[in-house]
């Protein structure tokens, strides 16, 4: 490339894409991959999934017409190319940056984003609802759901499949099959799809049937070709999954063969029955580092474009501390088991898997099943540690009450990514778990101030057999507090008083303890006597500790990486009310709104979760003057 001229004209709208000669589409695909690799090297993001759907997205926009036609992407982390082709090409370098493009689809970001998402298993149900709405309105638009093979380990996807043929005659489901979610897919469904991919007999018969479709123009002959293909499948697979659901199955075909994708979508547009198109794609296609390490390049921070190398991390992450501590404890206690819902690398449990494979369980993207499975292990006298992101455990809320809570089963819930998941935005922020957990009877809920205390909490969980117990912990690294070789068992419900004081009592929960420390230091500089408390326990609360400081201090302050509504601070207020103690309580946390994506420090500054903002609120309440002796 010479000068600053791009190697190929930018195609940033569906109209421009349709105007492009078909022979130039492979060049467009090459350019898109180049832009993605260069842009995400600066911002980070979901590189691997997007490199795998370049041709698919081009074909969809070439054949269909958004925003009239509807594309519903499952999870939607693979929607970067869709954004580029719908007027956002010039902003792709802002993705996941504050006030830039979101890393997922957002209805508020573009009229071409008909449905927002961030979690797996939502696309088929939502798209079916759109198709039903279209039918009721006598509309003519097409609805296309795009779901990865991992989405078919979700119960919601199968619930939707069960209803498609009874609801509409016009529905297209694209199964984007690359054998990966974040990690390699597991279970019977993954095995089934792999059989469809790799059976040489079926591949040969499918190829012959596909040739008929391509050679013969008449509709009746196309139907005949479909029957030939269906017969070929049934010889090998008598219980073909999708056709048992009443869906016409096509594939598998090469998801990077643009001409074949275009012809197939043109054919499916005319079909008067719901259909599944099974495509085979490569996650990370076109970029050697991503192909070589699909797990790493599913979603990552900035990297070097030449090698794919990322900056070395400093302190171990909480996920790594979790996995290493749990593995160490499990080697001594053979009743400890570990469960993940398709997130062995994200939760750190890949380490446990390597060391103790016979007590490690990956259930796929199925949080409800994971929780119930843990219940069954607990009934058998085992000690299940269930590791799920805070934002994903929301799906298993019924189990937290109905199965774990009511039966008082000793399930150990480890909620990773609790608090802000900065760059990912509102679908991934784990800022609601205190609110949905603290009022459920029988549960114990904790949060550590650092990595050493986290290891102590995990040991406490291993020793706790009296009912369910949970710990929430943040994304990324802590302060570098190396866990002790011999962990301590914590007294359930006991706060840690770090410093005494008589004017202000500051309770800093978990990763907000650092902010509380700094706020206490600044308040002391203002001449105030400040108590500093590490609560550790959200449920049960340390009532005597709260009451003692309520009786001796002029104001209490609570800080938490959680929404203020129904959070830790609310629990403190409720306890004071029950104890008939009335003292001002300043609650510092996230406001009653969905928080955008952006760097953590910037968002904390914007919403007042800083030491300076906390100090200003205290001084304003106290009239900006220290207590008089």
DSSP 491-550: PTT--EEEE--SSEEEEE-GGGHHHHHHHHHHHHHTT--EEEEE--EEES--HHHHHHHH
Q: Could you confirm whether 548 is annotated as catalytic?
A: no
Give the C-alpha separation, 363 to 360, whole Å: 10
Residue in this structure with the two tokens 């979690």, named with its chain if needed: 119
Q: Is residue 434 helix, strand or coil? A: helix
Helix axis angle, 200-215 to 188-198, nearest 10°: 60
Active site residue 395: yes
| Dist. CA 560–CA 577, nearest whole Å | 20
96, 134, 283, 438: which is the annotated catalytic residue?
A: 283
What b/e sequence results for 302-317 when a residue is b if at least 16 CB atoms lie within 10 Å of its CB, and e otherwise? ebebeebeeeeeeebb
Pairing of strands 275-280, 248-254: parallel
* Residue 556 φ/ψ, nearest 5 degrees: -110, 145
Task: Judge whether 283 counts as a catalytic residue.
Answer: yes
Burial of 142 (0-12, 13-18, 19+ CB in 10 A): buried
Spatial distance between the Cα atoms of 314 and 297, rounded to a whole number of angstroms: 20
Q: Annotated catalytic residue: which of 233, 395, 417, 475?
A: 395
Classify the phi-psi angles of 616: left when phi > 0, otherwise alpha if psi is within -120 to 50, otherwise beta.
alpha
Q: The tokens 């069954």 sit on which residue?
A: 376
In whole angstroms, what separates CA 21 from the centre of its chain?
38
Pair 498, 596: CB distance under 8 Å: no
Q: Are the CB atoms for 36 and 44 separated by under 8 Å?
A: no
- Per the listing, tokens 């205390």 go with 453
459: left (phi over 0), alpha (psi -120 to 50) or beta: alpha
Calpha distance 41→309 (Å, rounded) = 10
Rounded Cα distance, 612 and 564, in Å? 18
Torsion, CA 223, CA 227, CA 229, CA 235, rounded to 10: 180
Q: What are the angstrom distances between the C-alpha of 542 and each of 15, 454, 568?
A: 63, 19, 12
In which element (H, E) is residue 230 found? Answer: helix 219-236
| Set 179, 282, 367, 517: catalytic member | 367
Question: Which residue's structure tokens are 């195609």?
Answer: 11
Q: Residue 406's CB: how many other CB atoms inside 10 A?
A: 12
By annotation, the residues acting in catalysis are: 283, 367, 395
């Amino acid at each position: 490339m010479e000068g600053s001229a791009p190697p190929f004209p930018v195609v940033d709208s569906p109209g421009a894409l349709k105007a492009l000669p078909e022979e130039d589409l492979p060049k467009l695909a090459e350019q898109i991959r180049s832009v993605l690799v260069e842009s995400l090297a600066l911002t980070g993001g979901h590189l691997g999934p997007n490199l795998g759907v370049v041709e698919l997205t081009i074909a969809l926009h070439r054949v269909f017409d958004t925003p009239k036609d509807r594309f519903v992407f499952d999870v939607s982390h693979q929607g970067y190319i869709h954004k580029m082709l719908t007027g956002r090409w010039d902003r792709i370098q802002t993705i996941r940056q504050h006030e830039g493009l979101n890393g997922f689809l957002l209805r508020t970001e573009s009229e071409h984003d008909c449905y927002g998402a961030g979690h797996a298993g939502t696309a088929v149900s939502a798209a079916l609802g759109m198709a039903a709405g279209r039918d009721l309105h006598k509309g003519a638009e097409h609805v296309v759901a795009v779901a990865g093979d991992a989405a078919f380990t979700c119960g919601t996807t199968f619930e939707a499949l069960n209803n498609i043929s009874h609801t509409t005659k016009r529905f297209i489901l694209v199964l984007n099959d690359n054998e990966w979610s974040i990690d390699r897919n597991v279970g019977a469904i993954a095995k089934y799809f792999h059989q469809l991919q790799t059976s040489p007999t079926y591949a040969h018969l499918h190829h012959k049937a596909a040739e008929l479709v391509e050679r013969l123009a008449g509709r009746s002959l196309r139907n005949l070709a479909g029957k030939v293909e269906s017969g070929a499948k049934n010889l090998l697979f008598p219980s073909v999954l999708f056709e048992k659901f009443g869906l016409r199955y096509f594939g598998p075909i090469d998801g990077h063969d643009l001409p074949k994708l275009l012809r197939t979508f043109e054919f499916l547009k005319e079909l008067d029955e719901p259909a599944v198109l099974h495509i085979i794609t490569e996650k990370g296609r076109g970029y050697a580092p991503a192909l070589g390490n699909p797990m790493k390049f599913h979603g990552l921070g900035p990297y070097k474009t030449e090698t794919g190398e990322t900056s070395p991390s400093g302190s171990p992450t909480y996920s790594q501390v979790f996995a290493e501590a749990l593995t160490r404890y499990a080697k001594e206690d053979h009743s400890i088991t570990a469960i993940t819902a398709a997130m062995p690398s994200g939760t750190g449990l890949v380490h446990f898997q390597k060391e103790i494979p016979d007590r490690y369980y990956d259930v796929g993207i199925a949080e409800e099943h994971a929780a119930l499975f843990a219940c069954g292990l607990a009934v058998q006298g085992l000690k299940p540690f269930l590791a799920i992101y805070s934002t994903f455990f929301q799906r298993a809320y019924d189990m937290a009450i109905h199965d774990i809570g009511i039966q008082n089963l000793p399930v150990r819930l480890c909620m990773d990514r609790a608090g802000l998941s900065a760059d990912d935005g509102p679908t991934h922020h784990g800022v609601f778990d205190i609110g949905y957990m603290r009022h459920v009877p029988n549960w114990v809920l904790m949060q550590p101030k650092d990595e050493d205390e986290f290891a102590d909490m995990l040991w406490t969980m291993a020793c706790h057999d009296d009912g369910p117990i949970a710990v929430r912990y943040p994304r990324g690294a802590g302060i570098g507090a190396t866990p002790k070789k011999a962990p301590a068992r914590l007294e359930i419900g006991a706060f840690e008083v770090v410093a005494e004081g008589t004017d202000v009592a500051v309770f800093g929960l978990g990763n907000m303890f650092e902010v509380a420390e700094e706020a206490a230091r600044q308040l002391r500089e203002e001449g105030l006597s400040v108590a500093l408390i590490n609560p550790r326990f959200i449920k049960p609360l340390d009532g005597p500790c709260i009451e003692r400081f309520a009786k001796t201090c002029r104001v209490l302050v609570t800080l938490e990486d959680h929404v203020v509504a129904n959070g830790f601070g609310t629990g403190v207020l409720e306890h004071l009310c029950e104890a008939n103690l009335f003292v001002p309580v300043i609650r510092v946390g996230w406001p009653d709104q969905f928080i955008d994506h952006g760097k953590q420090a910037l968002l904390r500054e914007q919403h007042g979760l800083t030491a300076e903002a906390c100090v200003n609120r205290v001084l304003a309440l106290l009239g900006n003057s220290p207590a008089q002796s």
